[in-house]
Structure 1
Amino acid sequence: MKAFLVALLAAVLCAQPASSLFCYTCDNEHSNWNCLKTYKCEDHEKYCTTTYSSAGFGKDAGHRITKKCSVDCPETNVNFGVAAFSTKCCSTSLCNFSGANSVRTSYAVMILGIAASLGWVIRAGL
Structure 2
Amino acid sequence: MKAFLVALLAAVLCAQQASSLFCYTCDNEHSNWNCLKTYKCEDHEKFCTTTYSSAGVGKDMGYRITKKCSVDCPETNVNFGIASYSTKCCRTSLCNFSGANSIRISYSVILLGIVGSLFCVLRVGL
After TM superposition, the score normalised by the length of structure 1 is 0.91
Determine the structure 2 residue equivalent to 1:98: 98
Determine the structure 1 residue equivalent to 2:68: 68
For 2:111, the aligned partner's letter is I
Does 2:35 correspond to 1:2?
no
Unaligned stretches of 5+ in structure 1? none
> Could you tell me how far apart the structure 2 residues matched to 1:3 and 1:101 are?
54
Shift of 1:100: 2.9
Determine the structure 2 residue equivalent to 1:81: 81
Between stretches 88-97 and 98-107, larger displacement belongs to: 98-107
Shift of 1:25: 0.4
After TM superposition, the score normalised by the length of structure 2 is 0.91
> Could you tell me how far apart the structure 2 residues matched to 1:121 and 1:12 are?
73
Shift of 1:101: 3.4
For 1:25, the aligned partner's letter is T
How many corresponding residue pairs? 125
Shift of 1:30: 0.6
- For residues 31-81 of structure 1, give each alpha carbon's deviation from its aligned partner in whole angstroms, at most 9, with x where no partner exists: 111101111111111110000011111111111000001111111111111
Determine the structure 2 residue equivalent to 1:57: 57
Percentage of identical aligned residues:
75
For 1:2, the aligned partner's letter is A
Cα-Cα RMSD = 1.4
Maintained 8 Å contact 2:52/2:66: yes
Q: Secondary structure at the match of 1:17?
A: coil
Determine the structure 2 residue equivalent to 1:33: 33
Give structure 1 regions of 4+ aligned residues with deviation exceeding 4 angstroms: none
Shift of 1:103: 0.4
> Could you tell me how far apart the structure 2 residues matched to 1:119 and 1:19 are?
58
